[in-house]
Amino acid sequence: MNTDLYITEATIDDVESLVALVNSAYRGESSKQGWTSEADLLGGQRTDIVSLKEIIQNNNNTILKCVDNKNIIGCVLLEHRMHYLYLGMLTVSPTLQAKGIGKKLIIASEEFAKQNNIYKIIMTVISVRHELIAWYKRNGFTTTGETKPFPTDAKFGIQKQPLEFIVMKKEL
């Protein structure tokens, strides 16, 4: 990682790179190089080209990408919902995790929210991801006590055990 690191809005031209990044960080053997892998919990891919194109083309969504030396090394999905911003798909390349890139993406997400007069961020995290939940807490998120079922559609992954989400929030 060098000093050419910057965060900007992703475009439709970034979809293939984003799909490769997200799937490498969440699922399969490559994801186990980092600490955010879901490979032991879920099989299948995390996203695909069609789904990500639909996300980017939706005017309520923004994907911020973190670029280093022209390579996308991180991203985060921001969905404008009612009176809050939903944060999802926070991703950092498995080989570059624990270097502050995720924190930079959180800060950029908060700045994006404030620029759009949004002062609450909501997210969901798989309830058994204790280390990840602790990381979000260290970055100012709190648990709400609310849970949501994990989707049963295989396009979101094939569960290796029963899973559910907890809801977390951050007031800005």
Which whole-number Å values give the CA distances from 110 to 105, 115, 116, 141, in the listed order? 9, 9, 10, 12
- The pLDDT > 70 percentage for the chain reads 98
85 occurs within a structural domain: yes
Overall number of domains in the chain:
1
User: How far apart are the C-alpha atoms of 12 and 49, rounded to whole Å?
Assistant: 10
Predicted confidence (pLDDT) at residue 78 exceeds the cutoff of 80: yes
65 vs 157, which has greater pLDDT? 65
- Going by pLDDT thresholds of 50, 70 and 90, the confidence category of residue 52 is very high
1 occurs within a structural domain: no
User: Residue 20 is part of which domain span?
Assistant: 6-171
Of 77-81, 108-112, 157-161, the range with the lowest mean pLDDT is: 157-161
146 occurs within a structural domain: yes
Phi-psi region of 75 (alpha: psi -120 to 50; beta: other; left: phi over 0): beta
Q: What pLDDT does residue 1 have? A: 53
Q: What pLDDT does residue 147 have? A: 97
Q: What pLDDT does residue 2 have? A: 54
14 occurs within a structural domain: yes
Predicted confidence (pLDDT) at residue 58 exceeds the cutoff of 60: yes
54 occurs within a structural domain: yes
Residues 130-149 have a mean pLDDT of: 97
Residues 122-133 have a mean pLDDT of: 96
User: How far apart are the C-alpha atoms of 62 and 45, rounded to whole Å?
Assistant: 21
Q: What pLDDT does residue 152 have? A: 86
The CATH number assigned to the domain holding 50 equals 3.40.630.30
What global pTM score does this model have? 0.93
DSSP 107: H
Residues 95-120 have a mean pLDDT of: 96
91 occurs within a structural domain: yes
